[in-house]
């Protein structure tokens, strides 16, 4: 049974990843022509890089979700698609309108409440589920800012999440997360250092919406949360030092003449803590977090295997 469904799903995912890889450069050119660009502040030359490349990620995700639904008939896949779309649209509006922190909070609450209510939970669990849905929906947007950081770490997390789903017998989430990991790899080839395109909020929020939905409707928080150890640590440090939803109000990490990142003192983040302990280039910092994320994933798989 698993082989009959897995082969076509992997095939679809590889095709979507290849299409993402091939079309992303053209998307970047069109975004640049439309002047939808952002400054790569961690380069001495401060080049203008196309933003909102996550549009292609969102489209690929929806095609994957539709394919898995057709192959499996699992109704909750459609619910995950709705969650993915809602958070993706939220990210799109944030990219275009540069929403303030209170509007972001209001939209997150609205989207989160809608999703939680439709999951038909016991009333007593609504506050907790709302908190988890909003947190997961936004956390991938917070752990970002360097070439390949958010997409690379998310691709790694998604792969290990798929392995945990397989180990625990959650086949539909396994299919979905493995497919997402493959798709993200195609985009990462253009987003890694030196980035030629940024995912934008639409990209990171689409990813957040996917995970918020899959955890809510399949009850898989216990598998995802350990994999988000670095993201949670980063969010906690930022929340204590700067407050959530307010990153645009602070200065970015600077770079010296030797391409070494120099953290500021206006707020703290996990990356700034690491840089204060050991100065690194952007490429080295992202590589460090890729390795650390992989270590967290390997540890989660080993612990889960032992406990089962």
Calculate mean pLDDT across residues 161-189: 97
pLDDT of 251 > 70? The answer is no
Measured CA to CA, the distance from residue 80 to residue 300 in angstroms comes to 24
pLDDT of residue 65: 98
Q: What average pLDDT is seen over the chain? A: 93
Q: Which residues of 39-49 are buried (b: 16+ CB within 10 A; e: fewer)?
A: ebebbeeeeeb
pLDDT of 291 > 70? The answer is yes
- Given a contact cutoff of 8 angstroms between Cβ atoms, the answer to whether 83 and 77 are in contact is no
pLDDT of 92 > 90? The answer is yes
Measured CA to CA, the distance from residue 1 to residue 135 in angstroms comes to 35
Measured CA to CA, the distance from residue 275 to residue 260 in angstroms comes to 9
Q: Which residues are bridge partners to 49 per DSSP?
A: 38
Q: What is the pTM of this model?
A: 0.94
Band of residue 28 on the pLDDT scale cut at 50, 70, 90: very high
Band of residue 250 on the pLDDT scale cut at 50, 70, 90: low
SS3 (DSSP) at 63: helix
> Residue 196: which of 28, 21, 5, 2 has the closest Cα?
28
Q: Which residues contact 20 (CB under 8 A, 6 or more apart)?
A: 56, 57, 60, 183, 186, 187
Q: What is the pLDDT of residues 47-75, one digit of tens each?
A: 999 999 999 999 999 999 999 999 999 99
pLDDT of 13 > 60? The answer is yes
SS3 (DSSP) at 17: helix
Measured CA to CA, the distance from residue 20 to residue 59 in angstroms comes to 9
- Given a contact cutoff of 8 angstroms between Cβ atoms, the answer to whether 140 and 236 are in contact is no
SS3 (DSSP) at 262: strand
Calculate mean pLDDT across residues 170-197: 97
pLDDT of residue 238: 87
> What are the tokens at 34?
């439309």
Q: What is the pLDDT of residues 118-160, one digit of tens each?
A: 998 888 899 999 999 999 999 999 898 899 999 999 999 999 9
pLDDT of 95 > 80? The answer is yes
- Please give the torsion angle defined by the CA atoms of residues 153, 159, 165 and 171, in that order, rounded to the nearest 10 degrees: 130
- Given a contact cutoff of 8 angstroms between Cβ atoms, the answer to whether 156 and 134 are in contact is no
Place of tokens 């022509």: 33
- Given a contact cutoff of 8 angstroms between Cβ atoms, the answer to whether 148 and 289 are in contact is no
- Residue scoring higher pLDDT (240 or 109): 109
- Each domain of the chain, given as residue ranges in start order, spans 2-222
- Given a contact cutoff of 8 angstroms between Cβ atoms, the answer to whether 157 and 227 are in contact is yes
Measured CA to CA, the distance from residue 265 to residue 304 in angstroms comes to 39
Please give the share of the chain, as a percent, with pLDDT higher than 70: 96
Q: E strands, the chain, where?
A: 37-39, 48-50, 254-255, 261-262
SS3 (DSSP) at 295: helix
pLDDT of 304 > 90? The answer is yes
pLDDT of residue 244: 54
Instruction: Choose the most confident range, by mean pLDDT, from 33-37, 121-125, 257-261.
Output: 33-37
Measured CA to CA, the distance from residue 94 to residue 201 in angstroms comes to 7
pLDDT of 201 > 60? The answer is yes
pLDDT of residue 241: 78
What is the pairing mode between strands 254-255 and 261-262?
antiparallel
pLDDT of residue 173: 97
pLDDT of 264 > 90? The answer is no
């Amino acid at each position: 049974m698993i082989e009959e469904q897995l082969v076509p799903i992997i095939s679809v995912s590889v095709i979507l990843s290849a299409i993402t890889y091939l079309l992303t450069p053209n998307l970047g050119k069109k975004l640049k022509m439309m002047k939808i660009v952002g400054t790569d502040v961690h380069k001495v030359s401060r080049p203008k890089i196309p933003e909102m490349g996550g549009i292609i990620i969102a489209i690929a995700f929806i095609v994957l979700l539709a394919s898995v639904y057709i192959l499996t008939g699992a109704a909750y896949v459609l619910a995950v698609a709705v969650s993915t779309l809602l958070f993706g649209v939220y990210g799109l509006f944030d990219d275009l309108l540069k929403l303030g922190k209170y509007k972001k909070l209001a939209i997150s609450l609205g989207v989160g409440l809608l999703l939680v209510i439709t999951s038909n939970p016991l009333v007593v669990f609504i506050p907790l589920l709302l908190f988890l849905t909003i947190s997961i929906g936004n956390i991938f947007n917070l752990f970002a800012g360097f070439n390949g950081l958010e997409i690379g770490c998310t691709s790694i997390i998604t792969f290990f999440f798929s392995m945990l789903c397989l180990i625990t017998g959650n086949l539909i989430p396994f299919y979905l997360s493995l497919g997402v990991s493959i798709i993200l790899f195609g985009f990462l080839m253009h987003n890694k250092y030196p980035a030629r395109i940024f995912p934008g909020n639409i990209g990171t929020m689409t990813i957040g919406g996917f995970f918020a939905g899959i955890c809510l409707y399949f009850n898989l928080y216990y598998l995802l949360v350990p994999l988000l150890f670095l993201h949670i640590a980063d969010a906690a440090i930022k929340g204590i030092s700067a407050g959530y939803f307010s990153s645009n109000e602070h200065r970015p990490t600077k770079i010296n003449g030797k391409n070494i990142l120099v953290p500021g003192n206006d707020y703290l983040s996990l990356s700034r803590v690491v840089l204060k302990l050991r100065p690194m280039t952007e490429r080295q910092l992202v590589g460090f977090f890729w390795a650390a994320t992989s270590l967290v994933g390997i540890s989660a798989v080993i612990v889960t295997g032992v406990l089962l």
